[in-house]
């Protein structure tokens, strides 16, 4: 099937995968947060990558012998970007509320989307999302400079991750590229977790949390996002990722007992509204199709 109907289906499927990835990623952050006080955020991130990479390697069994230099380049960039993104993100949410951290982090893919603007309607939706992010990161929300800097660093990694994931998804089959990329992330973050390995081994409950977070975020969450990037362009996905702050605030409120104010809700409404608007735009235009 081709034409507008096919475009709508691809856009709808891509949006669904983004939502799945957002829910699982933010939920996994709430699940793994108790590790921060025991082993630290850096080690918690490392353990998540180690578990996730091992599971992906077993499931995907990537055949890398025939990979080209371009394929390897995309996978390496994805692995480095993901490691940097997650290390910064965990250090951020160890210091500031989850929803606020994700709102700041979203500025990375938001700017990527701004560079991909195609119409005045798109610009208006980007402005709406920006207003929402500003409302969510207003003074008095418990932000520390260090936490905000880590969140901003994670946003830079997130934008790079979106571009690299699109490249890897198009250049490799199945989830072999993702498996190798997460293995690279695991190797890069391994030093942060080595010293705390024995500590985690003596806390089976925390070990189970790290494993669950790995399955939710890396195995299923990242795989869902890669499927989205195989269907719609990174610039469009970057605006749809506006759903992440809303999901993060909901998860922070429901699972971590973090306060959500009326202004927070208004900010969430703005970013979600922008995401929905772009989704509708994608569903009626061939511009939304992946390169």
Express each pLDDT in 6-27 by its tens digit.
667 777 787 888 889 889 999 9
Question: pLDDT tens digits, the chain, 291 residues: what are they?
Answer: 455 556 677 777 878 888 898 899 999 999 999 999 999 999 999 999 999 999 999 998 888 888 888 889 989 999 999 999 999 999 999 999 898 898 888 888 777 766 665 677 777 887 888 888 788 777 666 678 899 899 999 999 988 887 887 777 666 766 888 899 999 999 999 998 888 888 887 888 889 999 999 999 999 998 888 888 777 776 677 667 777 888 888 899 998 888 888 888 888 888 778 777 766 665 555 444 444
Q: Which two tokens stand for residue 198?
A: 């024995």
Task: Supply the pLDDT for residue 290.
Answer: 40
- Reference 55, options 214, 187, 192; nearest CA is 214
Contact 242, 271 (CB under 8 A): yes
Domain parsing of the chain, residue ranges: 10-288
Task: Supply the pLDDT for residue 142.
Answer: 65
Beta bridge partners of 232: 289
Task: Supply the pLDDT for residue 287.
Answer: 42
Of how many residues is the chain composed?
A: 291
> Beta-strand (E) ranges in the chain?
none
Question: Rounded to 5 degrees, what are φ and ψ at 232?
Answer: -135, 160
Contact 290, 233 (CB under 8 A): yes
Task: Supply the pLDDT for residue 111.
Answer: 75
Positive or negative: CA dihedral 250, 11, 240, 265: negative
> 288 vs 4, 7, 226, 234, CA distance in Å?
11, 8, 16, 10
Contact 44, 210 (CB under 8 A): yes
Q: Which two tokens stand for residue 185?
A: 């992330």
Instruction: Give the pTM.
Output: 0.84
Task: Supply the pLDDT for residue 84.
Answer: 97
Question: Rounded to 5 degrees, what are φ and ψ at 90?
Answer: -65, -35
Beta bridge partners of 289: 232
Instruction: Give the residue carrying structure tokens 């999901």.
Output: 247
- Reference 7, options 118, 15, 120, 223; nearest CA is 15
Measured torsion, CA atoms of residues 71, 48, 211, 94, in degrees rounded to the nearest 10: -150
Instruction: Give the residue carrying structure tokens 């939502």.
Output: 19
The string over 77-98, giving b where at least 16 C-beta atoms fall within 10 Å of a residue's C-beta and e elsewhere, is: bbbbbbbbbbbbbbbbbbbbbb
Task: Supply the pLDDT for residue 291.
Answer: 40
């Amino acid at each position: 099937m081709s034409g507008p109907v096919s475009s709508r289906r691809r856009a709808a499927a891509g949006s669904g995968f983004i939502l799945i990835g957002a829910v699982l990623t933010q939920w996994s952050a709430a699940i793994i947060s108790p590790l921060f006080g025991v082993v630290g955020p850096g080690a918690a991130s490392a353990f998540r990558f180690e578990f996730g990479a091992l599971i992906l390697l077993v499931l995907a069994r990537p055949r890398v012998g025939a990979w080209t230099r371009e394929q390897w380049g995309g996978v390496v960039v994805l692995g480095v970007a993901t490691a940097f993104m997650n290390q910064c993100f965990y250090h951020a949410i160890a210091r500031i509320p989850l929803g606020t951290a994700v709102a700041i982090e979203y500025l990375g893919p938001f700017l990527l989307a701004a560079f991909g603007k195609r119409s005045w309607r798109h610009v208006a939706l980007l402005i709406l999302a920006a207003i929402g992010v500003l409302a969510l990161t207003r003074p008095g929300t418990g932000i520390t400079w260090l936490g905000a800097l880590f969140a901003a660093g994670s946003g830079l990694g997130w934008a790079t991750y979106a571009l690299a994931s699109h490249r890897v998804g198009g250049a490799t089959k199945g989830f072999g590229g993702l498996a190798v990329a997460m293995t690279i992330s695991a190797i890069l973050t391994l030093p942060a977790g080595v010293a705390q390995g024995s500590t985690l081994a003596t806390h089976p409950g925390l070990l189970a949390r790290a494993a669950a977070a790995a399955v939710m975020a890396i195995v299923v969450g990242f795989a869902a996002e890669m499927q989205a990037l195989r269907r719609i362009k990174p610039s469009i996905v970057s605006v749809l990722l506006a759903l992440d702050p809303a999901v993060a605030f909901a998860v922070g409120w429901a699972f971590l007992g973090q306060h959500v104010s009326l202004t927070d809700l208004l900010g969430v409404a703005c970013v979600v509204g922008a995401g929905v608007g772009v989704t509708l735009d994608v569903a009626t235009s061939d511009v939304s199709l992946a390169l």
